[in-house]
Amino acid sequence: MKIKALVAVRSGSVRVSNKNLRPFAGSNLLELKLCQLKRIPNLNGIVVNSNDEGMLQIAQEYGCEVVKRDVVFSSNEVSMSDVYQNMAENFSGDVVAYINVTNPLVRDESLYNTIEIYRKICKEFDSVNSAHYIKEFMFKDNKPINYDLLKQPKSQDLPDILALNFACNVISREQMIKCKNVVGRKPYIHPIDELEATDIDSQIDFEFAEFVYNRLQVK
Write the pLDDT tens digit of every residue in 178-207.
999 999 999 999 999 999 999 999 999 999
Give the Cα-Cα-Cα angle 209, 30, 69 (nearest 5 degrees).
130
Q: How many CB atoms lie within 10 A of CB 104?
A: 25
pLDDT band with cut points at 50, 70 and 90 for residue 218: low
**Position 196 in a domain:** yes
Reference 88, options 211, 200, 174; nearest CA is 174
- Condensed to tens digits (0 to 9), the pLDDT of residues 124-163 reads 999 999 999 999 999 999 999 999 999 999 999 999 999 9
What is the C-alpha radius of gyration for the chain, rounded to an integer number of angstroms? 18
**Position 84 in a domain:** yes
**Position 63 in a domain:** yes
CATH number at residue 24: 3.90.550.10
pLDDT band with cut points at 50, 70 and 90 for residue 94: very high
- Condensed to tens digits (0 to 9), the pLDDT of residues 152-166 reads 999 999 999 999 999
Query: Which pLDDT score, from 0 to 100, does residue 52 have?
Result: 93
Answer whether residue 72 shows pLDDT above 90. no
What secondary structure letter does DSSP report for 63?
Answer: T
**Position 40 in a domain:** yes
Answer whether residue 213 shows pLDDT above 90. yes
Q: How many CB atoms lie within 10 A of CB 63?
A: 10
198 lies in which domain range?
A: 3-135+164-216
**Position 159 in a domain:** no
Q: Distance from CA of residue 206 to its chain's centroid?
A: 15
- Rounded to a whole number, what is the distance in angstroms from the first to the last CA of the chain? 26
Query: Which pLDDT score, from 0 to 100, does residue 18 have?
Result: 87
Answer whether residue 111 shows pLDDT above 70. yes
**Position 150 in a domain:** no
Query: Which pLDDT score, from 0 to 100, does residue 20 have?
Result: 95
Contacts 24+ apart (CB under 8 A), 148-153: none
**Position 80 in a domain:** yes
Query: Which pLDDT score, from 0 to 100, does residue 148 have?
Result: 96
Contacts 24+ apart (CB under 8 A), 24-28: 24/104, 24/206, 24/209, 24/210, 24/213, 25/104, 25/210, 25/213, 25/214
Query: Which pLDDT score, from 0 to 100, does residue 75 have?
Result: 82
What is the count of structural domains for the chain? 1
Answer whether residue 219 shows pLDDT above 90. no
**Position 143 in a domain:** no
Answer whether residue 9 shows pLDDT above 80. yes
> How far is the C-alpha of 30 from the C-alpha of 9, rounded, in Å?
8
